[in-house]
Amino acid sequence: MVESSGSKTKIFVVEDDEWYREYLAYTLALDPDHDVKSFATGKKFLSSLDECPDVVTIDYGLPDMTGATLLNEIKKKLPSAEVIVISEQDKIDTALQLLKAGAYDYFVKSKDIRERLMNTLNHIKDGLKLKTD
Protein backbone atom coordinates (compact mmCIF):
# COMPACT_ATOMS: atom_id res chain seq x y z
CA MET A 1 0.00 0.00 0.00
CA VAL A 2 1.14 3.58 -0.56
CA GLU A 3 2.72 5.12 2.49
CA SER A 4 2.50 8.79 3.37
CA SER A 5 6.31 8.87 3.62
CA GLY A 6 6.43 9.70 -0.08
CA SER A 7 6.79 6.27 -1.69
CA LYS A 8 5.67 6.00 -5.28
CA THR A 9 2.21 4.86 -6.32
CA LYS A 10 2.61 1.59 -8.22
CA ILE A 11 0.34 1.60 -11.29
CA PHE A 12 -0.06 -1.30 -13.72
CA VAL A 13 -1.61 -0.79 -17.16
CA VAL A 14 -3.24 -3.80 -18.85
CA GLU A 15 -4.08 -2.98 -22.47
CA ASP A 16 -3.71 -5.05 -25.64
CA ASP A 17 -3.67 -2.10 -28.07
CA GLU A 18 0.02 -1.19 -28.22
CA TRP A 19 -0.48 2.50 -29.06
CA TYR A 20 -3.06 3.01 -26.32
CA ARG A 21 -1.01 1.02 -23.77
CA GLU A 22 2.05 3.19 -24.45
CA TYR A 23 -0.10 6.34 -24.35
CA LEU A 24 -1.54 5.44 -20.94
CA ALA A 25 1.83 4.37 -19.52
CA TYR A 26 3.51 7.54 -20.81
CA THR A 27 0.72 9.75 -19.45
CA LEU A 28 0.88 8.12 -16.03
CA ALA A 29 4.69 8.17 -15.92
CA LEU A 30 4.73 11.95 -16.39
CA ASP A 31 4.04 12.16 -12.65
CA PRO A 32 7.34 11.38 -10.86
CA ASP A 33 5.37 9.88 -7.97
CA HIS A 34 4.12 7.06 -10.22
CA ASP A 35 5.93 3.78 -10.82
CA VAL A 36 4.28 2.48 -14.02
CA LYS A 37 4.45 -0.96 -15.60
CA SER A 38 2.41 -2.15 -18.59
CA PHE A 39 1.15 -5.50 -19.89
CA ALA A 40 -0.41 -6.62 -23.20
CA THR A 41 -2.42 -9.54 -21.75
CA GLY A 42 -4.28 -10.41 -18.60
CA LYS A 43 -2.16 -13.55 -18.16
CA LYS A 44 1.13 -11.59 -18.20
CA PHE A 45 -0.34 -9.10 -15.74
CA LEU A 46 -1.58 -11.81 -13.37
CA SER A 47 1.90 -13.35 -13.25
CA SER A 48 3.12 -10.01 -11.82
CA LEU A 49 0.27 -9.43 -9.37
CA ASP A 50 2.55 -10.44 -6.49
CA GLU A 51 4.28 -7.05 -7.02
CA CYS A 52 1.17 -5.57 -5.34
CA PRO A 53 0.19 -2.61 -7.52
CA ASP A 54 -1.80 0.15 -5.83
CA VAL A 55 -3.79 0.94 -8.98
CA VAL A 56 -4.50 -1.13 -12.10
CA THR A 57 -6.04 0.14 -15.33
CA ILE A 58 -7.57 -2.68 -17.36
CA ASP A 59 -9.03 -2.92 -20.83
CA TYR A 60 -12.39 -4.69 -20.92
CA GLY A 61 -11.67 -6.52 -24.16
CA LEU A 62 -8.35 -8.30 -23.73
CA PRO A 63 -7.40 -11.12 -26.13
CA ASP A 64 -7.07 -13.74 -23.37
CA MET A 65 -9.84 -12.79 -20.89
CA THR A 66 -12.58 -10.25 -20.27
CA GLY A 67 -12.15 -7.26 -18.02
CA ALA A 68 -14.76 -8.76 -15.69
CA THR A 69 -12.71 -11.94 -15.25
CA LEU A 70 -9.54 -9.94 -14.69
CA LEU A 71 -11.25 -7.63 -12.19
CA ASN A 72 -12.49 -10.66 -10.22
CA GLU A 73 -8.98 -12.14 -10.13
CA ILE A 74 -7.47 -8.85 -8.95
CA LYS A 75 -10.06 -8.39 -6.20
CA LYS A 76 -9.67 -12.01 -5.07
CA LYS A 77 -5.85 -11.87 -4.84
CA LEU A 78 -5.30 -8.19 -4.02
CA PRO A 79 -8.51 -6.65 -2.65
CA SER A 80 -6.80 -3.38 -1.71
CA ALA A 81 -5.84 -2.56 -5.31
CA GLU A 82 -7.99 0.05 -7.02
CA VAL A 83 -9.05 -0.87 -10.55
CA ILE A 84 -9.97 1.54 -13.33
CA VAL A 85 -11.57 -0.04 -16.40
CA ILE A 86 -10.79 1.75 -19.68
CA SER A 87 -12.66 0.30 -22.62
CA GLU A 88 -14.22 0.90 -26.01
CA GLN A 89 -17.28 -0.86 -24.57
CA ASP A 90 -19.80 1.92 -23.91
CA LYS A 91 -22.75 -0.13 -22.67
CA ILE A 92 -24.01 1.22 -19.36
CA ASP A 93 -24.93 -2.29 -18.12
CA THR A 94 -21.32 -3.42 -18.55
CA ALA A 95 -20.02 -0.38 -16.68
CA LEU A 96 -22.49 -0.89 -13.82
CA GLN A 97 -21.63 -4.60 -13.57
CA LEU A 98 -17.92 -3.79 -13.26
CA LEU A 99 -18.49 -1.00 -10.73
CA LYS A 100 -20.62 -3.35 -8.61
CA ALA A 101 -17.84 -5.97 -8.84
CA GLY A 102 -15.37 -3.52 -7.30
CA ALA A 103 -13.99 -1.31 -10.07
CA TYR A 104 -13.17 2.20 -8.83
CA ASP A 105 -14.20 3.83 -12.12
CA TYR A 106 -15.06 3.05 -15.73
CA PHE A 107 -13.94 5.16 -18.72
CA VAL A 108 -14.80 4.84 -22.37
CA LYS A 109 -11.59 5.05 -24.43
CA SER A 110 -10.75 8.38 -25.97
CA LYS A 111 -7.59 10.18 -26.98
CA ASP A 112 -8.31 12.97 -24.49
CA ILE A 113 -8.62 10.74 -21.44
CA ARG A 114 -5.56 12.21 -19.70
CA GLU A 115 -7.30 14.77 -17.47
CA ARG A 116 -10.01 12.40 -16.29
CA LEU A 117 -7.48 9.66 -15.59
CA MET A 118 -5.20 11.98 -13.61
CA ASN A 119 -8.15 13.38 -11.59
CA THR A 120 -9.30 9.86 -10.73
CA LEU A 121 -5.76 8.87 -9.72
CA ASN A 122 -5.50 11.91 -7.47
CA HIS A 123 -8.74 10.86 -5.73
CA ILE A 124 -7.40 7.34 -5.29
CA LYS A 125 -4.07 8.59 -3.94
CA ASP A 126 -5.88 10.91 -1.51
CA GLY A 127 -7.89 7.91 -0.28
CA LEU A 128 -4.75 5.81 0.10
CA LYS A 129 -3.10 8.56 2.14
CA LEU A 130 -6.11 8.70 4.44
CA LYS A 131 -5.90 4.94 5.00
CA THR A 132 -2.20 5.11 5.92
CA ASP A 133 -2.36 8.19 8.16
pLDDT over 90 (residue 130): no
- Does 90 or 20 have the greater pLDDT score? 20
pTM of this structure: 0.89
Average pLDDT (99-124) is: 91
pLDDT over 70 (residue 103): yes
* Domain spans, the chain: 9-116
pLDDT at 6: 57
Three-state SS sequence of the chain: CCCCCCCCEEEEEECCCHHHHHHHHHHHHCCCCEEEEEECCHHHHHCCHHHCCCEEEECCECCCCEHHHHHHHHHHHCCCCEEEEEECCCCHHHHHHHHHCCCCEEEECCCCCHHHHHHHHHHHHHHHHHHHC
The architecture (CATH level 2) of 9-116 comes to 3-Layer(aba) Sandwich (3.40)
pLDDT at 127: 82
pLDDT over 80 (residue 41): yes
Whole-number mean pLDDT of the chain? Answer: 90
